[in-house]
Structure 1
């Protein structure tokens, strides 16, 4: 399976047999390598530093005796 079929139109009229690259070994392995690299990167962030992209307000300890200022009583 090639990216360009034999006899495809070539506007320059030159022989393009040397420009053909087989699809399966080259592009399949290239895409697989990129997928594995991204998976390793995301897994390392998720496993080794899960709080890296978190909101800083989530690290403030809660005080059950104080109501947040944006909550007002209805009376």
Structure 2
């Protein structure tokens, strides 16, 4: 019978890798959300990206790129 200690020893590296991967994805999502909510960028582009990723649409903004 496999104990919890055996399981954690066998899967510790896999768990660390999964946690690292999750942290990377969270950072990428945070970067994308920050861009979507940055009014310096085109509202149509930000809205389209938010819609594509099933994220809340940005509010307001400009209709042109950054200054």
TM-score by length of 1: 0.39
Q: Say which one has the larger Rg.
A: 1
Higher relative contact order (CA 8 A, sep 6+): 2
The structure carrying a bigger helix percent of its residues is 2
TM-score (norm 2): 0.42
